[in-house]
Structure 1
Amino acid sequence: MILYISMGEIKLNSISLVASKNRRIAITGAFSALIILMGIPGLHLGYIQLSPAASLTIMHIPVILAAVLAGLPGGIVTGLVFGLTSLVNAAANPSGLLDPLFVNPFCSVLPRMLFGAAAWGVFRLLSMVSVFPKALCAAVTSFLTTLLHTVMVIGSMYVFLNSQMSETMGGMGFVMVMGVILPGALLEAVAATFVCAAVTAAMSAASSKKAKIFSEENKD
Protein backbone atom coordinates (compact mmCIF):
# COMPACT_ATOMS: atom_id res chain seq x y z
CA MET A 1 0.00 0.00 0.00
CA ILE A 2 2.79 2.38 0.98
CA LEU A 3 4.70 1.45 -2.19
CA TYR A 4 1.59 2.13 -4.28
CA ILE A 5 1.10 5.54 -2.69
CA SER A 6 4.79 6.39 -3.17
CA MET A 7 4.68 5.36 -6.82
CA GLY A 8 1.59 7.50 -7.26
CA GLU A 9 3.33 10.51 -5.74
CA ILE A 10 6.37 10.00 -7.98
CA LYS A 11 4.11 9.78 -11.03
CA LEU A 12 2.27 12.97 -10.04
CA ASN A 13 5.57 14.79 -9.43
CA SER A 14 6.87 13.66 -12.84
CA ILE A 15 3.69 14.88 -14.55
CA SER A 16 3.97 18.17 -12.66
CA LEU A 17 7.61 18.66 -13.72
CA VAL A 18 6.83 17.96 -17.38
CA ALA A 19 3.83 20.30 -17.28
CA SER A 20 5.94 23.00 -15.64
CA LYS A 21 8.67 22.64 -18.26
CA ASN A 22 6.17 22.76 -21.12
CA ARG A 23 4.53 25.80 -19.53
CA ARG A 24 7.85 27.66 -19.35
CA ILE A 25 8.64 26.81 -22.97
CA ALA A 26 5.18 27.97 -24.08
CA ILE A 27 5.48 31.24 -22.14
CA THR A 28 8.95 31.93 -23.55
CA GLY A 29 7.77 31.23 -27.09
CA ALA A 30 4.67 33.38 -26.72
CA PHE A 31 6.55 36.39 -25.38
CA SER A 32 9.31 35.97 -27.97
CA ALA A 33 6.68 36.03 -30.71
CA LEU A 34 5.12 39.14 -29.16
CA ILE A 35 8.51 40.89 -29.12
CA ILE A 36 9.11 40.01 -32.77
CA LEU A 37 5.68 41.37 -33.70
CA MET A 38 6.29 44.59 -31.76
CA GLY A 39 9.72 44.95 -33.32
CA ILE A 40 8.80 44.56 -37.00
CA PRO A 41 10.81 47.25 -38.86
CA GLY A 42 8.69 50.20 -39.90
CA LEU A 43 5.73 49.48 -37.64
CA HIS A 44 7.34 50.66 -34.38
CA LEU A 45 4.65 48.92 -32.31
CA GLY A 46 7.04 48.59 -29.39
CA TYR A 47 8.45 52.12 -29.52
CA ILE A 48 6.98 55.55 -28.90
CA GLN A 49 9.17 58.19 -30.52
CA LEU A 50 9.41 61.32 -28.35
CA SER A 51 12.16 63.17 -30.21
CA PRO A 52 14.93 62.46 -32.73
CA ALA A 53 17.15 61.41 -29.85
CA ALA A 54 14.74 59.62 -27.54
CA SER A 55 11.89 57.14 -27.58
CA LEU A 56 9.92 55.16 -25.04
CA THR A 57 9.80 51.40 -25.37
CA ILE A 58 7.42 48.78 -24.02
CA MET A 59 9.36 45.89 -25.54
CA HIS A 60 11.15 45.24 -22.28
CA ILE A 61 7.87 44.28 -20.58
CA PRO A 62 7.58 40.81 -22.22
CA VAL A 63 11.19 40.13 -21.16
CA ILE A 64 10.37 40.88 -17.52
CA LEU A 65 7.22 38.75 -17.68
CA ALA A 66 9.12 35.85 -19.25
CA ALA A 67 11.79 36.07 -16.54
CA VAL A 68 9.11 36.12 -13.83
CA LEU A 69 6.88 33.40 -15.26
CA ALA A 70 9.37 31.17 -17.11
CA GLY A 71 12.56 31.60 -15.10
CA LEU A 72 16.14 32.41 -16.08
CA PRO A 73 16.07 30.72 -19.53
CA GLY A 74 12.90 32.63 -20.41
CA GLY A 75 14.46 35.93 -19.42
CA ILE A 76 17.65 35.34 -21.37
CA VAL A 77 15.93 34.02 -24.52
CA THR A 78 13.40 36.85 -24.70
CA GLY A 79 16.18 39.32 -23.91
CA LEU A 80 18.11 37.90 -26.86
CA VAL A 81 15.06 38.26 -29.13
CA PHE A 82 14.53 41.83 -27.91
CA GLY A 83 18.16 42.69 -28.65
CA LEU A 84 18.07 41.14 -32.10
CA THR A 85 14.89 43.02 -33.07
CA SER A 86 16.54 46.23 -31.85
CA LEU A 87 19.61 45.49 -33.98
CA VAL A 88 17.50 44.69 -37.06
CA ASN A 89 15.42 47.85 -36.62
CA ALA A 90 18.54 49.97 -36.27
CA ALA A 91 20.04 48.48 -39.42
CA ALA A 92 16.93 48.29 -41.60
CA ASN A 93 14.90 51.28 -40.51
CA PRO A 94 16.86 53.77 -38.36
CA SER A 95 14.69 56.53 -36.93
CA GLY A 96 16.68 58.00 -34.05
CA LEU A 97 20.08 59.51 -33.43
CA LEU A 98 21.24 56.50 -31.44
CA ASP A 99 20.06 53.86 -33.92
CA PRO A 100 23.42 53.61 -35.74
CA LEU A 101 24.98 52.56 -32.44
CA PHE A 102 22.46 49.76 -31.94
CA VAL A 103 23.88 47.98 -34.98
CA ASN A 104 26.66 46.93 -32.62
CA PRO A 105 25.42 43.75 -30.84
CA PHE A 106 27.33 44.73 -27.70
CA CYS A 107 25.00 47.72 -27.41
CA SER A 108 21.75 46.14 -28.62
CA VAL A 109 21.86 42.42 -27.78
CA LEU A 110 24.23 41.93 -24.84
CA PRO A 111 22.60 44.40 -22.40
CA ARG A 112 19.12 43.02 -23.19
CA MET A 113 20.23 39.45 -22.40
CA LEU A 114 21.83 40.61 -19.15
CA PHE A 115 18.66 42.55 -18.41
CA GLY A 116 16.58 39.39 -18.75
CA ALA A 117 18.90 37.57 -16.36
CA ALA A 118 18.78 40.50 -13.92
CA ALA A 119 14.97 40.53 -13.95
CA TRP A 120 14.95 36.85 -13.00
CA GLY A 121 17.55 37.42 -10.28
CA VAL A 122 15.71 40.35 -8.65
CA PHE A 123 12.38 38.50 -8.75
CA ARG A 124 14.01 35.40 -7.29
CA LEU A 125 15.49 37.37 -4.39
CA LEU A 126 12.21 39.13 -3.64
CA SER A 127 10.32 35.84 -3.80
CA MET A 128 12.45 34.52 -0.94
CA VAL A 129 10.52 36.86 1.36
CA SER A 130 7.51 34.63 1.99
CA VAL A 131 5.18 37.46 3.02
CA PHE A 132 5.53 39.15 -0.37
CA PRO A 133 2.85 38.10 -2.89
CA LYS A 134 4.09 37.32 -6.37
CA ALA A 135 2.33 40.36 -7.83
CA LEU A 136 4.24 42.67 -5.48
CA CYS A 137 7.54 40.94 -6.29
CA ALA A 138 6.79 41.35 -10.00
CA ALA A 139 5.89 45.03 -9.54
CA VAL A 140 9.11 45.88 -7.67
CA THR A 141 11.16 43.80 -10.10
CA SER A 142 9.62 45.59 -13.08
CA PHE A 143 10.27 49.06 -11.72
CA LEU A 144 13.87 48.42 -10.67
CA THR A 145 14.96 46.40 -13.68
CA THR A 146 13.36 48.79 -16.18
CA LEU A 147 15.59 51.55 -14.80
CA LEU A 148 18.50 49.10 -14.80
CA HIS A 149 17.78 48.30 -18.45
CA THR A 150 18.19 51.96 -19.38
CA VAL A 151 21.43 52.22 -17.42
CA MET A 152 22.80 49.05 -19.03
CA VAL A 153 21.95 50.08 -22.60
CA ILE A 154 23.30 53.63 -22.32
CA GLY A 155 26.28 52.37 -20.32
CA SER A 156 27.15 49.80 -22.98
CA MET A 157 27.27 52.55 -25.58
CA TYR A 158 29.78 54.49 -23.53
CA VAL A 159 31.81 51.36 -22.82
CA PHE A 160 31.97 49.95 -26.36
CA LEU A 161 31.42 53.05 -28.53
CA ASN A 162 32.56 55.89 -26.32
CA SER A 163 33.74 58.35 -28.98
CA GLN A 164 30.71 57.78 -31.24
CA MET A 165 28.31 58.11 -28.33
CA SER A 166 29.91 61.33 -27.08
CA GLU A 167 29.87 62.80 -30.57
CA THR A 168 26.23 61.83 -31.12
CA MET A 169 25.18 63.34 -27.80
CA GLY A 170 27.09 66.58 -28.33
CA GLY A 171 29.87 65.79 -25.89
CA MET A 172 27.58 64.88 -22.98
CA GLY A 173 28.86 62.22 -20.63
CA PHE A 174 27.03 59.24 -19.20
CA VAL A 175 25.66 61.04 -16.13
CA MET A 176 24.32 63.97 -18.16
CA VAL A 177 22.64 61.68 -20.70
CA MET A 178 21.03 59.66 -17.90
CA GLY A 179 19.70 62.89 -16.41
CA VAL A 180 18.14 63.85 -19.74
CA ILE A 181 16.43 60.50 -20.34
CA LEU A 182 15.46 59.84 -16.70
CA PRO A 183 11.85 61.13 -17.06
CA GLY A 184 11.24 58.76 -19.99
CA ALA A 185 12.86 55.88 -18.10
CA LEU A 186 10.56 56.52 -15.13
CA LEU A 187 7.51 56.42 -17.41
CA GLU A 188 8.68 53.10 -18.82
CA ALA A 189 9.22 51.80 -15.28
CA VAL A 190 5.74 52.83 -14.13
CA ALA A 191 4.10 51.25 -17.20
CA ALA A 192 6.05 48.02 -16.68
CA THR A 193 5.13 47.97 -12.98
CA PHE A 194 1.37 48.06 -13.57
CA VAL A 195 1.36 45.65 -16.51
CA CYS A 196 3.65 43.04 -14.97
CA ALA A 197 1.90 43.15 -11.59
CA ALA A 198 -1.51 42.66 -13.22
CA VAL A 199 -0.38 39.81 -15.50
CA THR A 200 1.50 38.03 -12.69
CA ALA A 201 -1.48 38.29 -10.34
CA ALA A 202 -3.79 36.85 -13.00
CA MET A 203 -1.39 34.01 -13.85
CA SER A 204 -0.85 33.18 -10.17
CA ALA A 205 -4.58 33.04 -9.54
CA ALA A 206 -5.12 30.81 -12.57
CA SER A 207 -2.28 28.48 -11.55
CA SER A 208 -3.59 28.19 -7.98
CA LYS A 209 -7.08 27.38 -9.22
CA LYS A 210 -5.75 24.79 -11.66
CA ALA A 211 -3.58 23.19 -8.97
CA LYS A 212 -6.55 23.00 -6.60
CA ILE A 213 -8.73 21.32 -9.24
CA PHE A 214 -5.92 18.88 -10.12
CA SER A 215 -5.45 17.99 -6.44
CA GLU A 216 -9.18 17.39 -5.89
CA GLU A 217 -9.39 15.19 -9.00
CA ASN A 218 -6.51 13.01 -7.78
CA LYS A 219 -8.11 12.64 -4.35
CA ASP A 220 -11.23 11.32 -6.04
Structure 2
Amino acid sequence: MTKLRKKKSTYHISILAILTAIIILQDFIPMLGNIPIGPLSLTTLHVTVIITAIVLGPVDGAIVGGVWGVLTWIRAFVFPSSPLAPLVFVNPLVSVLPRIMIGLVAGWTFIILFKFFKHLLSSMVIASILGALTNTILVLGFIYIFYHTPEVAKLYGVNVSNLFKALSAIFVTNGLAEMVLAAIIAPMIAMPLRKIYQKR
Protein backbone atom coordinates (compact mmCIF):
# COMPACT_ATOMS: atom_id res chain seq x y z
CA MET A 1 0.00 0.00 0.00
CA THR A 2 2.86 2.35 0.88
CA LYS A 3 4.56 1.53 -2.42
CA LEU A 4 1.36 2.34 -4.34
CA ARG A 5 0.96 5.62 -2.48
CA LYS A 6 4.57 6.55 -3.20
CA LYS A 7 4.07 5.78 -6.91
CA LYS A 8 0.93 7.93 -6.96
CA SER A 9 2.77 10.77 -5.22
CA THR A 10 5.62 10.60 -7.73
CA TYR A 11 3.15 10.68 -10.62
CA HIS A 12 1.35 13.66 -9.02
CA ILE A 13 4.60 15.58 -8.65
CA SER A 14 5.53 14.77 -12.25
CA ILE A 15 2.23 16.18 -13.58
CA LEU A 16 2.63 19.27 -11.39
CA ALA A 17 6.19 19.77 -12.68
CA ILE A 18 5.04 19.47 -16.31
CA LEU A 19 2.24 22.01 -15.82
CA THR A 20 4.66 24.36 -14.04
CA ALA A 21 7.12 24.05 -16.93
CA ILE A 22 4.31 24.80 -19.40
CA ILE A 23 3.35 28.00 -17.60
CA ILE A 24 6.99 29.11 -17.51
CA LEU A 25 7.25 28.54 -21.28
CA GLN A 26 3.97 30.40 -21.84
CA ASP A 27 5.29 33.36 -19.87
CA PHE A 28 8.59 33.62 -21.72
CA ILE A 29 7.71 32.70 -25.31
CA PRO A 30 6.26 35.77 -27.10
CA MET A 31 2.62 35.50 -28.20
CA LEU A 32 2.19 32.12 -26.48
CA GLY A 33 1.05 33.28 -23.06
CA ASN A 34 0.80 37.08 -23.34
CA ILE A 35 -0.67 38.80 -26.37
CA PRO A 36 0.03 42.59 -26.20
CA ILE A 37 -3.06 44.73 -26.87
CA GLY A 38 -2.42 48.44 -26.31
CA PRO A 39 -1.22 49.09 -22.76
CA LEU A 40 -2.43 45.68 -21.58
CA SER A 41 -1.56 42.09 -22.35
CA LEU A 42 -4.27 39.50 -23.06
CA THR A 43 -3.22 36.37 -21.20
CA THR A 44 -3.74 32.67 -21.80
CA LEU A 45 -1.73 31.54 -18.77
CA HIS A 46 -4.79 31.48 -16.53
CA VAL A 47 -6.03 28.47 -18.51
CA THR A 48 -3.03 26.42 -17.36
CA VAL A 49 -3.63 27.43 -13.74
CA ILE A 50 -7.30 26.43 -14.01
CA ILE A 51 -6.44 23.07 -15.59
CA THR A 52 -4.00 22.38 -12.75
CA ALA A 53 -6.61 23.29 -10.14
CA ILE A 54 -9.25 21.02 -11.69
CA VAL A 55 -6.96 18.03 -12.25
CA LEU A 56 -4.66 18.19 -9.22
CA GLY A 57 -6.64 20.34 -6.78
CA PRO A 58 -6.77 23.92 -5.47
CA VAL A 59 -3.43 23.81 -3.63
CA ASP A 60 -1.51 22.74 -6.74
CA GLY A 61 -3.49 25.26 -8.77
CA ALA A 62 -2.38 27.94 -6.32
CA ILE A 63 1.25 26.77 -6.62
CA VAL A 64 1.24 27.01 -10.43
CA GLY A 65 -0.61 30.33 -10.20
CA GLY A 66 1.99 31.52 -7.72
CA VAL A 67 4.81 30.61 -10.12
CA TRP A 68 3.10 32.66 -12.82
CA GLY A 69 2.59 35.53 -10.39
CA VAL A 70 6.24 35.58 -9.30
CA LEU A 71 7.35 35.51 -12.94
CA THR A 72 4.99 38.44 -13.67
CA TRP A 73 6.47 40.32 -10.72
CA ILE A 74 10.09 39.68 -11.81
CA ARG A 75 9.36 40.53 -15.45
CA ALA A 76 7.87 43.86 -14.35
CA PHE A 77 11.38 44.86 -13.25
CA VAL A 78 13.53 43.29 -15.97
CA PHE A 79 11.43 42.40 -19.03
CA PRO A 80 7.89 43.84 -18.84
CA SER A 81 5.19 42.28 -21.02
CA SER A 82 3.40 45.62 -21.51
CA PRO A 83 4.01 49.37 -20.92
CA LEU A 84 1.76 49.13 -17.86
CA ALA A 85 3.71 46.31 -16.17
CA PRO A 86 6.61 48.40 -14.69
CA LEU A 87 4.05 50.68 -13.03
CA VAL A 88 1.60 48.20 -11.53
CA PHE A 89 2.99 44.64 -11.52
CA VAL A 90 5.90 45.56 -9.24
CA ASN A 91 3.27 45.31 -6.49
CA PRO A 92 2.85 41.60 -5.47
CA LEU A 93 -0.79 42.27 -4.55
CA VAL A 94 -1.42 42.99 -8.24
CA SER A 95 0.98 40.51 -9.84
CA VAL A 96 1.07 37.50 -7.48
CA LEU A 97 -2.06 37.32 -5.28
CA PRO A 98 -4.66 37.24 -8.12
CA ARG A 99 -2.76 34.38 -9.81
CA ILE A 100 -2.75 32.33 -6.61
CA MET A 101 -6.45 32.99 -6.11
CA ILE A 102 -7.25 31.64 -9.60
CA GLY A 103 -6.11 28.18 -8.50
CA LEU A 104 -7.91 28.31 -5.17
CA VAL A 105 -11.21 29.59 -6.59
CA ALA A 106 -11.25 27.29 -9.64
CA GLY A 107 -10.15 24.25 -7.64
CA TRP A 108 -12.61 24.62 -4.77
CA THR A 109 -15.47 25.59 -7.11
CA PHE A 110 -14.92 22.40 -9.11
CA ILE A 111 -14.72 20.22 -5.98
CA ILE A 112 -17.90 21.66 -4.45
CA LEU A 113 -19.98 21.64 -7.64
CA PHE A 114 -18.95 18.12 -8.63
CA LYS A 115 -19.58 16.83 -5.11
CA PHE A 116 -23.15 18.14 -5.02
CA PHE A 117 -24.26 17.91 -8.66
CA LYS A 118 -22.08 15.07 -10.04
CA HIS A 119 -21.88 16.71 -13.48
CA LEU A 120 -18.26 16.78 -14.59
CA LEU A 121 -18.39 19.08 -17.63
CA SER A 122 -20.62 21.81 -16.16
CA SER A 123 -18.55 21.80 -12.95
CA MET A 124 -15.40 22.33 -15.00
CA VAL A 125 -16.95 25.09 -17.12
CA ILE A 126 -18.25 27.04 -14.12
CA ALA A 127 -14.94 26.58 -12.26
CA SER A 128 -13.08 27.86 -15.34
CA ILE A 129 -15.32 30.91 -15.64
CA LEU A 130 -14.96 31.82 -11.96
CA GLY A 131 -11.19 31.25 -12.07
CA ALA A 132 -10.81 33.58 -15.05
CA LEU A 133 -13.07 36.22 -13.49
CA THR A 134 -11.09 36.04 -10.24
CA ASN A 135 -7.92 37.03 -12.06
CA THR A 136 -9.54 39.84 -14.05
CA ILE A 137 -11.51 41.34 -11.16
CA LEU A 138 -8.59 41.25 -8.70
CA VAL A 139 -5.98 42.61 -11.12
CA LEU A 140 -8.15 45.44 -12.42
CA GLY A 141 -9.59 46.12 -8.97
CA PHE A 142 -6.14 46.40 -7.37
CA ILE A 143 -4.91 48.59 -10.25
CA TYR A 144 -7.76 50.99 -9.56
CA ILE A 145 -7.29 50.94 -5.77
CA PHE A 146 -3.50 51.30 -5.69
CA TYR A 147 -2.74 53.13 -8.94
CA HIS A 148 -5.44 55.74 -9.38
CA THR A 149 -2.71 58.06 -10.67
CA PRO A 150 -2.06 60.31 -13.70
CA GLU A 151 0.78 58.03 -14.87
CA VAL A 152 -1.44 54.95 -15.11
CA ALA A 153 -4.34 56.95 -16.55
CA LYS A 154 -2.01 58.33 -19.23
CA LEU A 155 -1.07 54.81 -20.37
CA TYR A 156 -4.77 54.04 -20.71
CA GLY A 157 -5.23 57.30 -22.62
CA VAL A 158 -7.79 58.69 -20.16
CA ASN A 159 -8.05 61.22 -17.36
CA VAL A 160 -7.67 59.97 -13.80
CA SER A 161 -11.37 60.60 -13.24
CA ASN A 162 -12.18 58.26 -16.14
CA LEU A 163 -9.84 55.45 -15.07
CA PHE A 164 -12.70 53.39 -13.61
CA LYS A 165 -14.56 53.57 -16.93
CA ALA A 166 -11.42 52.53 -18.80
CA LEU A 167 -10.87 49.55 -16.50
CA SER A 168 -14.53 48.59 -16.81
CA ALA A 169 -14.19 48.65 -20.60
CA ILE A 170 -11.14 46.38 -20.34
CA PHE A 171 -13.14 44.00 -18.15
CA VAL A 172 -15.90 43.84 -20.77
CA THR A 173 -13.43 43.23 -23.63
CA ASN A 174 -10.26 41.50 -22.39
CA GLY A 175 -11.84 40.03 -19.26
CA LEU A 176 -14.76 38.42 -21.03
CA ALA A 177 -12.49 37.14 -23.83
CA GLU A 178 -10.23 35.47 -21.25
CA MET A 179 -13.30 34.03 -19.50
CA VAL A 180 -14.69 32.51 -22.71
CA LEU A 181 -11.26 31.14 -23.61
CA ALA A 182 -10.97 29.46 -20.20
CA ALA A 183 -14.53 28.07 -20.33
CA ILE A 184 -13.81 26.39 -23.68
CA ILE A 185 -10.16 25.32 -23.51
CA ALA A 186 -9.72 24.36 -19.83
CA PRO A 187 -12.45 21.66 -19.74
CA MET A 188 -11.30 20.27 -23.11
CA ILE A 189 -7.83 19.62 -21.70
CA ALA A 190 -8.75 18.94 -18.06
CA MET A 191 -11.35 16.26 -18.87
CA PRO A 192 -9.00 13.70 -20.50
CA LEU A 193 -6.07 14.67 -18.29
CA ARG A 194 -8.14 14.08 -15.15
CA LYS A 195 -9.25 10.65 -16.41
CA ILE A 196 -5.63 9.66 -17.11
CA TYR A 197 -4.53 10.98 -13.72
CA GLN A 198 -7.26 9.11 -11.83
CA LYS A 199 -6.48 5.82 -13.61
CA ARG A 200 -3.00 5.97 -12.16
Compute the TM-score of the two structures, normalised by the length of structure 1.
Answer: 0.77
Question: SS of the counterpart of 1:56?
Answer: strand
Q: In structure 2, what residue type is equivalent to 1:126?
A: L
Question: SS of the counterpart of 1:128?
Answer: helix
Q: Which residue of 2 aligns with 1:30?
A: 18
With over 3 angstroms needed to count, the CA separation of the structure-2 counterparts of 1:173 and 1:77, relative to structure 1, is: same
Cα drift, residue 59 of structure 1: 0.7
Cα drift, residue 22 of structure 1: 2.9
Q: Is the 8 A contact 2:53 2:103 kept in 1?
A: yes
Q: CA RMSD in A?
A: 2.3
Within 5 Å, which residues of 2 pair with 1:54-73? 54-73=40-59
* Aligned equivalent of 1:47, options 11, 14, 34: 34
* Aligned equivalent of 1:201, options 181, 188, 191: 191
Q: Which has the larger radius of gyration?
A: 1
Cα drift, residue 45 of structure 1: 2.3
Q: Which has the higher contact order (CA 8 A, sep 6+)?
A: 2
Q: Which residue of 2 aligns with 1:177?
A: 167
Point out where structure 2 has 5 or more consecutive residues left out of the alignment: none
Cα drift, residue 33 of structure 1: 0.7
Point out where structure 1 has 5 or more consecutive residues left out of the alignment: 1-10, 212-220
Q: How many residues align?
A: 195
With over 3 angstroms needed to count, the CA separation of the structure-2 counterparts of 1:144 and 1:114, relative to structure 1, is: closer
Cα drift, residue 38 of structure 1: 1.3
Within 5 Å, which residues of 2 pair with 1:9-20? 11=1, 14-15=2-3, 17-20=5-8
Compute the TM-score of the two structures, normalised by the length of structure 2.
Answer: 0.84
Within 5 Å, which residues of 2 pair with 1:1-220? 11=1, 14-15=2-3, 17-40=5-28, 43-51=30-38, 53-100=39-86, 101-133=88-120, 135-163=121-149, 165-166=152-153, 168-169=155-156, 170=158, 171=160, 172-174=162-164, 176-207=166-197, 210=199
Q: Report % sequence identity.
A: 27
Quick one: distance in 1 between partners of 2:76 and 2:138?
Answer: 18
